[in-house]
Amino acid sequence: MSVLERVPKSARLPGFLRLDGRARRQRLVDSTWLSSERARALEQAGGGLNEADADAMSENVIGLHALPLTVALNFRVDGVDRVVPMSVEEPGIVAAASGAARLVREGGGFASEAAAPVLTCRVQLLEVADVASARARLLAAAPALLAEADALIPSMVARGGGARELEVRLVGDGLVVHVHVDVRDAMGANTVNTVAEGLAPSLEALTGGRAGLRLLTNLADRLKVTVRCRVPVAALATADFPDGGLVARRVVEAQRFAESDVYRAVTHNKGVMNGVDAVLLAFGNDWRAVEAGAHAYACRGGASAPLTRWRCDGEALSGELTLPLATSMVGGAARNHAGVRLALELARVSSATDLGVLAAAAGLASNLAALRARSTEGINRGHMALYARRVAAEGPAVAARLSTERCYRPERAAQVLAELRGGAPAP
Ligand code: NAD
C-alpha cells in the first residue's frame, strides 16, 4: 500500500474554487489525494488521450475533443471522505454538487446499498409451438444452461463472476430467456452478449423455436444502487432563508410536485443525471447505457416519476436515490485513456460498484442542490454568479486585444468577446 493510501484524507478543501488549475493540483498533492508525478502528468496530458489511442477507440478520428476534468469536494460516503472526479460542459454542476455534499456531511454523509454487479442478457425465442411446455423445459434445464453460460466466459468465472440465474418470460407470442450474469468490475455488455449468442443454439434446441435478438438489456434492474442521506435542517438555511425548516419543507414541496407531474419529473431526473453523467464521463463509462436504464426505471410505474425521494424527518431532511447503474473500472476507455486511469486512482475507486455509489452520491447531491436553490432564491442567481466568473476570466484577453488594436470602443469590446467565445464576428 502506498503512502498516499495510508494517510486519512479530508475531502473538505476550503478555497479550492478560487485557486487556478495549477494551484488546485498542488492542493490535491499537499492533501495527499494526488502524487506529484500524477499532477505533473495531468498538466501535460492534454486530456489523457493521444491521437493513436483515440484512433483505436473510435472511427474516422480527426483530432481530440476535450472537456474540463474537475473534482467535486466535500463528499463523505459510507464514512470515508472521497473526492469525486467529474467531467461536464455545463457550468455550475460541480459547484452545486460540492455545496450539497457539504450539507450532507453535516448529517454524516451518504450511506450506500448496492446489489451485486449483475447484468442481464436476453434471448428472444420466436415460432415456439407450445410456449408453456417449452418454458417448463427451459426452467428444468436451467442448471445445465447456467453451466454452459459459464463455460462461454471462463475469465469472468475465474474472477468470481459468472451466470447466476435464468428466467423465462412470456412476451407476445414467444418467449424471452433472461440470463443474469455477475460481470464484476466490467460494464459487461460484450461479456453478456457473448453469453446470449453462445446459448442461443441450446435454447432453440430445447424449445423448437428460432432465436431472434440475442443481447443485453440496458434496463439493468438487477444492478441497482441506492444512496441515502439525512441533512440537519439547520444546515439548509441560506442568507435569505434563515429558517432551515422552511427550506426543507420547500424541498419536499418541489419533490411532491415531481411526484405528481410528469413534466416536472423528467426535469427533476435530468438534474439527478447532471451529477451521475458527469461522474460517468470522467471515468469514460458508457453514460448512454446508464441514461437509458435510469429513465426506463423512472417510468416503471407507467410514467416518469422522480428517481429521488425527499421527506422531512424530524429535525432532518431525508433523501434517497435508487437507479440501475452499470458502471465499469476495466475494459472500454479504462484500457487506453490516461485521464480515466487517473480519475480511478484519484477517487480510490475499488470496484465498479464503488464507482456506481460515487455516481449515485453525485446524483443525489446534484438533485438536493437544484431543489434547494429553486425552492429558495431561484436558480438564476447561482448560475449568473458562475457566468460572471467566466466573463471576468475573459476580460484580460479582451483588454489585450483592444490594446493591440488601439481601439477602446465598447462595441469593439463586445465583438472581440463574441469572437473569443467562438461565435461569428459581429458585423
Ligand atoms: P469489454 O469487452 O472491454 O470486457 C471487459 C474485459 O475486462 C473482459 O475481457 C474481462 O475479462 C476483463 N476484466 C479484467 N479485469 C476484470 C474485472 N476485475 N472484472 C471484470 N472484467 C475484467 O467490456 P464489457 O464490459 O464487456 O462491455 C462494455 C463495452 O461494451 C462498453 O464500451 C460499452 O459501451 C459497449 N457496449 C454497450 C452496449 C449497450 O449498452 N447496449 C452494447 C454493446 C457494447
Q: Which DSSP letter does residue 35 get?
A: -
Cα–Cα distance for residue pair 152/343, rounded to 1 Å: 32
Distance 351 CA to ligand 1 centre (A): 14
> What kind and span of H or E run contains 81?
strand 80-86
Cα–Cα distance for residue pair 168/133, rounded to 1 Å: 12
| Atom 6 of ligand 1, nearest CA residue | 331
pLDDT at res. 394: 65
217 lines ligand 1 (CB under 6 A): no
pLDDT in tens, 25-54: 999 999 999 999 989 888 876 778 899 999
pLDDT in tens, 237-267: 988 889 999 999 999 999 999 999 999 999 9
- Tell me if residue 165 is catalytic: no
Query: How large is the average pLDDT for residues 337-341?
Result: 91
- Tell me if residue 268 is catalytic: no
pLDDT at res. 392: 61
Opening angle at CA 177, ends 173 and 181, nearest 5: 160
| Atom 31 of ligand 1, nearest CA residue | 332
**Residue 418 pLDDT level (bands cut at 50, 70, 90):** low
Select which of 30, 90, 127, 259 is catalytic: 90
- Tell me if residue 270 is catalytic: yes
* 189 to 184, 195, 217: CA distances (angstroms): 12, 10, 9
Of all residues in the chain, the percent with pLDDT exceeding 70 is: 86
Select which of 268, 286, 337, 354 is catalytic: 286
Average pLDDT value over all residues in the chain? 91
pLDDT in tens, 275-300: 999 999 999 999 999 999 999 999 99
Distance 391 CA to ligand 1 centre (A): 42
- Indicate whether 100 pLDDT > 50: yes
Select which of 270, 320, 345, 377 is catalytic: 270
Mutate to test the pocket of ligand 1, among 183, 184, 187, 341 (most ligand atoms within 8 A of CB): 187
- Indicate whether 8 pLDDT > 80: no
pLDDT in tens, 177-229: 999 999 999 999 999 999 999 999 999 999 999 999 999 999 999 999 999 99
Mutate to test the pocket of ligand 1, among 215, 286, 350, 351 (most ligand atoms within 8 A of CB): 286
Query: How large is the average pLDDT for residues 131-156?
Result: 98
* 279 to 96, 97, 113, 398: CA distances (angstroms): 14, 11, 18, 33
- Reported pTM: 0.89
Q: Which three cell numbers stand for residue 379?
A: 436558480
